[in-house]
Amino acid sequence: MSTETMLDQAPARELRRPLLELRKVSKFFGALRALHEVDFSIYPGEIQALVGDNGAGKSTLVKTISGAHQADRGEFFFNGKPVSIASPDDSFALGIATVYQDLALVGTRDVAHNLFVGREPTRWGMVDRRRMVREARQVIGLLNVDIPSVDALVSQLSGGQRQAVAIGRAVHEGRSILVLDEPTAALGVRESHQMLTLIETLRDQGKAILIVSHNLLHVFRIADRITVLRGGQVVGTRRKSQTSGDEIVKMITGADML
């Protein structure tokens, strides 16, 4: 079953224009084909989940969207207009913020700086440390997580606290799209719950959200649509209301579907 037929069955929302659309995007690492002609869309005010087994190409797709990798083939459209995402700056300029699977934090720096690495606010040609600290406190407050202080070195935080810092950064800078690669992987039950609630709040504010997760419970709780990736190819996209955990598992593993 193709993505198109699925969308035919799911009217209303998909008639809107996607905020970000990928057409036939391919990515190679040497001879390894990590992504093959991936068609993929993200809509404003929606949570789009991306699932698939280890090595399916989820993080690779995330990184082509964030500008960390350059796609070898394919086209990107933002609000219907063709764009190129060749660097993290291009992605940032489109209002896309990404939480990477390995978090990409600088352990030797404090929480405040980590929330702004690469985008440090300046004043009179110098880094505006006061503003950084002030905004860092706001972000941490918003996330409602327990982080000792914005002066704490990230290397001294727990795994969950680090994840919160990485997400805080994305929430702070993501103006249109938030891309989250395994955002709940290191979080406890209560923290995961809080995180999912936060993601729903952001969706309700009209942001487009792409979330990668192995936790189908989480996926089914918050996703509006689910895309399954296997061996670098899109197996299919389903509205949550029109699929089941069973079907998604079959799509992920490649077991007989129809």
Ligand X SMILES: Nc1ncnc2c1ncn2[C@@H]1O[C@H](COP(=O)(O)OP(=O)(O)OP(=O)(O)O)[C@@H](O)[C@H]1O
Q: How far is the CB of 215 from ligand X (least distance, A)?
A: 12
Q: State how far Cα 234 lies from the chain centre.
A: 17
Q: Which is nearer to ligand X, 44 or 232 (CB)?
A: 232
Single out the segment in contact with other proteins by CB under 8 A; choices: 87-95, 177-185, 211-219, 238-246: 87-95
| Residues 114-143 within binding reach of other proteins (CB under 8 A) | 117-120, 122, 125-127
Contact predicate 205/198, CB 8 Å:
no
| Residues 45-64 within binding reach of ligand X (CB under 6 A) | 52, 54-60
Q: How far is the CB of 119 from other proteins (least distance, A)?
A: 7
Contact status: 101 vs ligand X (CB under 6 A)? yes
Contact status: 59 vs Mg ion (CB under 5 A)? yes
Contact status: 86 vs other proteins (CB under 8 A)? no
Please state, in angstroms and rounded to a whole number, the distance separating the CA atoms of residues 194 and 42.
Answer: 23
Per-residue x/- track, 197-236, other proteins (CB under 8 A): ----------------------------------------
Please state, in angstroms and rounded to a whole number, the distance separating the CA atoms of residues 226 and 82.
Answer: 24
Q: Which is nearer to other proteins, 165 or 248 (CB)?
A: 165
194: number of Cβ within 10 Å: 17
First vs last Cα of the chain: how many Å apart?
A: 9
| Residues 135-194 within binding reach of other proteins (CB under 8 A) | 154-157, 162
Report the residue from 18, 22, 100, 203 that binds other proteins according to the rule CB under 8 A. 100
Strand order in the sheet with 47-51: 96-99, 177-181, 208-212, 47-51, 225-230, 233-239
Q: How far is CA 137 from CA 79, 95, 250, in A?
A: 33, 22, 44
Please state, in angstroms and rounded to a whole number, the distance separating the CA atoms of residues 109 and 116.
Answer: 11
Q: How far is CA 76 from CA 40, 73, 167, in A?
A: 10, 10, 25
54 binds, among ligand X, other proteins, Mg ion, none (CB under 5 to 8 A by kind): ligand X
Contact status: 98 vs Mg ion (CB under 5 A)? no
- Residue with smallest beta-carbon separation from Mg ion: 59
Q: Which is nearer to ligand X, 28 or 77 (CB)?
A: 28
Give the footprint of other proteins on this chain (CB under 8 A): 66, 68, 87-89, 92, 98, 100, 102-109, 113, 117-120, 122, 125-127, 154-157, 162
Note the residues at the interface with ligand X (CB under 6 A).
29, 32, 34, 52, 54-60, 101
Contact residues: Mg ion, CB under 5 A: 58-59, 101
